[in-house]
Each structure stands twice: as structure tokens, then as C-alpha cells.
């Protein structure tokens, strides 16, 4: 098969850095082939993606990136990055998918059908005038995928799709890639969970310490599998001490314009409970966390945090909230200053701040990043820095929105152990969301499934009779 892309002894170092992030990369992608690249968090996978697309800041660059003569140029390469927020440009769904087509000078009469076909392909069923701001992160990822598919690329580079897509989105992606591969389209996928892509991947590669090597370790078929809702949950439970209740939802409904996102949600989380909130993209998992922080008020019912209706400014130091897009929470010039910031707001002494920051960075496994700019880190590393900054004050309630996106398996397991230990030792109440079943560990006391406008129990240790 003809190579559509070749990297020959390619190396790259960022400006001002003597160490090469990529070292002597040799890689070849043929027409209709799918390559999967895996590697530890921060190993340089996204740097390689940006190098192929020509988006890297000019630095110390060696070797060559060669495209097939006369057929492949960088404008025929589509890149779907880890963080969809960085690629959404337009105000509505229809405008977003049509944007690239307009730029390419596609006949105006052909654009509506191309937009519809692309949206159907990814399973995104929204009106064309639907606001992109109202989409969940997972559905924004689908939207960008649709906009790229509409332009009929010859090589697609996809960064961490499993982290962003639910079961339906994953199945759609597999189907799309299978069809396009048969048409000669090539794919280069970076993924921390490559076992979910075995149906489409032709060869696996591993990136470590800047060097790339072939891997055969992931050739197994793994599927998304959720536990089933409880058939006969035990409704009787011992009386709960009101002083131990951290979160209490009573018939809570959310939405706007008389349309509910979900309704009549009722549950209680006690001091030290660990609650996993799961469900497909766009069903309202993030909305639930925003209700708990007070950033969003229910349209009906009552949400109580520490026995009161939540007001964000009153929860400072008591509640830690990691959003789905952690780069939006980072603003300091170094990782150390970033993690120090909430402690300064709480007027801690300088020696206390240094000791606490050193402790938290070590617990999160990022001590070596203390003097680094948080804005130049990988997506997964930014997640870890944002997590460290909200852990630093020692919150009583920790709310984490899809906290493991961008993290490799070892990092994910390490952070889960850390959170479990903190919950047990400090009696910290923990709530985290995901659309991925791999994020469902044994540590959950309560599991809530959000789908179809309802929040229902999947598994609750206290409900086992």
C-alpha cells in the first residue's frame, strides 16, 4: 500500500527547552490504514499530532514529515483534539458543521445536505439552530467530528475519543471508521484505552520518553458495559443523623423554557459517601454538579448542601469543584502558584502554604511540574493540576466532572486510590461523573444513572439487603 504519511527520524524540542519531547520518530501510515498510539500522560502524543498537522510553535526540529506527492497536503488532514472547547467556533450546530465547507468554497446548494449527513453519521440529533454553548462536552466532541467528516478528509487524526464519547458515540465512531477505511481514508488515533478500538486498529504503537515503538499488547475486543439498575432495592434504611447529611436532593428538577433536563431527583449523600454519577453524553451529569455548587438553581424541588441552599461564595474552602474543562480553571504562571492560590484566599500562613502544596503535588504525582507553566502541559496533566488546586484546602465535599479524561490507566488508578483514601481518612464526601464504565470502581457507595430525564440508582451498597 502507498504511504500517505511518513515521519523519518523526526525530533522536536519546544522553544527554550534543551530536552526533545519527540526523538527520532519513524512512522508510516498507508491509505485505508488505522494506527493507534498510546502512552503515559504527558508522553508527547498530542505534540506528535500537532507536528503532523503543522500546528507546533517553531522550535528545535529535526528529521522530516513527508506527505504522499500530489495527493496529500495538510489541508486534507483533519484533527480532532482532546478538548472540544478549543475547536468550537460558531454559535449554532448548523453553522459549526457548515463553517469548514464555506471556507473550502463548497457550492452553497450542496452544503445543507452535507451538514445533515455528517450530523446523522455521528448521531447528533439537534436542530441546526441549537446553541453550541448548550451542548455537553461529549456532544461538542461529536459536533467537531461531524464538522470534520463533512469536509471529506483523507487522513483523520483523533485524540482520545474514548475519554469523550459514551457508548452510542463510541459505536458510531467505530462504524464511521470502518466505512471510511474501506474508502481509503486513513486514521491515526491517540488513546489511553486502545482495547476499545480493536475492531478498527491495524497496528498499535507506544510512545515513551519521546521514542515510539510497536506494541501488540492491546489486541483484544473490549466493550462498554454498564451495570443494570437495581430490580429490588431495599427501601428500608436506618434513621440517618441529620448532622451527617452533606447533600440532600428533594424532588429536584432542572431545565429551561419549560423543558426538563431531568426531574424529580431525590437522594441523600452522607459525610464520607463516595457517589459515582454516570450516563450518556448530554443527559445532565454536569448539570447535577452545578446544582450542588449553587451555580445553577433547580426549577423545582430543593437541593441542600450542609443543610442550606448552596450559595457559591459561602462554600469557599468547604466544596471543591473540578469542571469538565480544567484549562478554564488554570490562570497562574506556575503549577506551584496555581495550587497555592486557594490557600492564599483562605489566608493561610506562607509556611503552611508551602508545606501543603508540596504535600498535594506529591500525592497527585506531579511534584516535578511545580515550576512549570500549567498552560503548557498536556490535557491530562492540566487535569491533575486543577485537581491538586481544589484538593489543597481540604474540602468536605469534592465534586469532580469527568476527572479522568486525558489520564492513562496507571494515573487513573493512582488518583482513585488517593480519593478513596482521603474520603476514608478525612470523611470527605466525593462525587464524580463519567460516561465511561471504566470509571466505575469498587469504591463507590452510591451510583446514580442519569438518562431519559431521570436519575436512578444502579448500585448502592446501603441498598443491598
Q: Tell me: the pLDDT tens digits for 1-49?
A: 578 889 999 999 999 888 999 999 999 999 999 999 999 888 899 999 9
| CA 91 – CA 318 distance, rounded (Å) | 36
Residues 6+ apart with CB under 8 A from 387: 322, 326, 364, 400, 403, 415
Beta carbons of 149 and 79 less than 8 angstroms apart: no
List phi, psi (to 5°) of 243: -70, -15
> Is the residue at 272 inside a domain?
yes
Helix axes 111-122, 167-182, angle to 10 degrees: 120
List phi, psi (to 5°) of 30: -100, 165
List phi, psi (to 5°) of 384: -65, -40
> Is the residue at 135 inside a domain?
yes
pLDDT, residue 328, reads 86
The stretches in the chain having pLDDT less than 70 are: 1, 69-74, 217-239, 437-441, 459-465
Give the domain extent around 53. Answer: 3-215
pLDDT, residue 233, reads 46
Judged by DSSP in three states, 363 sits in helix
| CA 237 – CA 156 distance, rounded (Å) | 53
Beta carbons of 454 and 264 less than 8 angstroms apart: yes
Burial 186-199 (b: 16+ CB within 10 A, else e): bbbbbbbbbbbbbe
pLDDT, residue 221, reads 56
Q: What is the DSSP string of 80-129?
A: E-S-GGGT--SSBHHHHHHHHHHHHT--TTTHHHHHHHHHHHHT----TT
How many residues in total does the chain contain? 465
Same domain, 390 and 407: no
Take residue 294 and report the three cell numbers written for it: 449553587
pLDDT, residue 40, reads 87
Taking CA atoms, 423 is separated from 305, 443, 446, in Å, by: 17, 10, 14
In the sheet where 155-159 sits, what is the strand order? 77-80, 155-159, 186-190, 34-39, 203-208, 211-215
What is the Cα 139 distance to its own chain's centre? 12
Same domain, 58 and 147: yes
Same domain, 435 and 297: yes
Q: Tally the domains of the chain.
A: 3
Residue 207, beta-bridge partner list? 39, 212
> Is the residue at 41 inside a domain?
yes
| CA 315 – CA 310 distance, rounded (Å) | 7
> Is the residue at 239 inside a domain?
yes
Same domain, 209 and 239: no
Q: Of 175, 197, 215, which one is at a domain's C-terminal end?
A: 215
Domain containing 305 — which CATH number? 3.40.50.300
Take residue 147 and report the three cell numbers written for it: 464538522
Which of 10, 45, 50, 46 is CA-nearest to residue 28?
A: 10
Same domain, 284 and 418: yes
Same domain, 118 and 145: yes
pLDDT, residue 72, reads 52
Q: Of 394, 423, 443, which one is at a domain's C-terminal end?
A: 394
Same domain, 211 and 112: yes
Q: Of 176, 195, 215, which one is at a domain's C-terminal end?
A: 215
> Is the residue at 190 inside a domain?
yes
Same domain, 198 and 139: yes
Beta carbons of 5 and 37 less than 8 angstroms apart: no
> Is the residue at 370 inside a domain?
yes
Same domain, 256 and 116: no
Same domain, 198 and 50: yes
Burial 228-252 (b: 16+ CB within 10 A, else e): eeeeeeeeeeeeeeeeebbbbbeeb
> Is the residue at 220 inside a domain?
no
Check the CA dihedral 100-103-106-110 and report its sign: positive
CB atoms under 10 Å from CB of 50, counted, come to 17
Take residue 3 and report the three cell numbers written for it: 504511504
| CA 151 – CA 163 distance, rounded (Å) | 24
Same domain, 174 and 91: yes
> Is the residue at 458 inside a domain?
yes
What is the Cα 195 distance to its own chain's centre? 18
Helix axes 379-391, 350-363, angle to 10 degrees: 130
Same domain, 306 and 334: no
Amino acid at each position: 500500500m502507498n504511504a500517505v504519511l511518513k515521519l523519518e527520524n523526526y525530533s522536536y524540542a519546544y522553544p527554550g527547552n534543551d530536552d526533545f519531547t519527540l526523538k527520532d520518530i519513524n512512522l508510516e501510515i498507508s491509505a485505508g490504514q488505522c494506527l493507534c498510539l498510546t502512552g503515559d500522560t504527558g508522553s508527547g502524543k498530542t505534540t506528535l499530532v500537532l507536528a503532523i498537522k503543522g500546528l507546533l510553535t517553531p522550535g528545535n526540529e529535526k528529521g522530516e514529515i513527508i506527505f504522499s506527492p500530489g495527493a496529500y497536503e495538510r489541508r486534507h488532514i483533519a484533527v480532532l483534539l482532546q478538548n472540544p472547547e478549543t475547536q468550537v467556533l460558531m454559535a449554532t450546530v448548523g453553522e459549526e458543521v457548515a463553517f469548514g465547507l464555506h471556507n473550502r468554497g463548497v457550492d452553497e446548494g450542496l452544503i445543507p445536505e452535507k451538514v445533515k449527513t455528517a450530523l446523522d453519521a455521528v448521531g447528533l440529533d439537534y436542530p441546526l439552530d441549537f446553541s453550541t454553548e448548550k451542548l455537553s462536552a461529549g456532544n461538542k466532541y461529536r459536533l467537531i467530528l461531524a464538522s470534520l467528516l463533512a469536509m471529506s478528509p483523507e487522513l483523520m487524526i483523533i485524540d482520545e475519543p474514548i475519554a469523550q464519547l459514551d457508548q452510542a458515540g463510541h459505536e458510531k465512531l467505530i462504524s464511521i471508521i470502518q466505512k471510511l477505511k474501506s474508502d481509503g481514508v486513513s486514521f491515526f488515533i491517540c488513546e489511553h484505552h486502545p482495547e476499545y478500538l480493536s475492531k478498527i486498529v491495524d497496528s498499535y504503537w507506544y510512545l515513551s520518553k519521546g521514542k515510539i515503538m510497536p506494541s501488540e499488547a492491546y489486541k483484544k475486543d473490549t466493550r462498554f458495559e454498564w451495570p443494570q439498575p437495581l430490580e429490588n432495592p431495599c427501601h428500608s434504611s436506618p434513621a440517618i443523623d441529620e448532622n451527617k447529611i452533606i447533600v440532600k436532593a428533594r424532588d429536584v428538577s432542572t431545565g429551561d423554557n419549560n423543558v426538563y433536563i431531568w426531574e424529580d431527583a431525590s437522594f441523600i449523600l452522607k459525610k464520607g459517601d463516595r457517589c459515582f454519577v454516570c450516563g450518556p453524553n448530554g443527559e445532565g451529569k454536569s448539570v447535577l454538579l452545578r446544582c450542588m455548587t449553587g451555580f445553577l438553581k433547580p426549577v423545582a424541588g430543593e437541593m441542600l448542601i450542609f443543610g442550606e441552599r448552596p450559595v457559591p461564595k459561602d462554600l469557599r474552602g468547604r466544596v471543591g469543584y473540578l469542571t469538565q474543562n480544567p484549562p478554564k480553571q488554570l490562570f497562574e504562571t506556575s503549577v506551584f502558584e496555581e495550587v497555592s492560590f486557594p490557600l492564599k484566599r483562605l489566608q493561610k500562613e506562607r509556611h503552611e502554604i508551602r508545606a501543603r502544596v508540596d504535600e498535594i503535588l506529591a500525592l497527585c504525582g506531579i511534584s516535578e511540574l511545580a515550576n512549570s507553566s500549567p498552560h503548557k502541559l498536556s490535557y491530562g496533566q492540566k487535569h491533575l493540576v486543577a485537581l491538586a488546586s481544589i484538593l489543597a484546602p481540604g474540602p468536605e465535599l469534592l465534586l469532580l466532572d469527568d476527572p479522568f479524561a486525558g489520564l492513562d490507566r496507571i494515573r487513573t488508578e493512582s488518583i482513585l486510590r488517593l480519593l478513596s483514601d482521603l474520603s476514608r481518612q478525612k470523611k470527605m464526601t466525593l462525587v464524580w461523573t463519567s460516561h465511561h464504565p471504566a470509571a466505575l470502581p469498587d469504591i463507590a457507595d452510591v451510583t446514580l444513572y442519569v438518562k431519559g430525564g431521570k436519575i436512578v440508582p444502579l448500585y448502592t451498597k446501603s441498598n443491598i439487603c
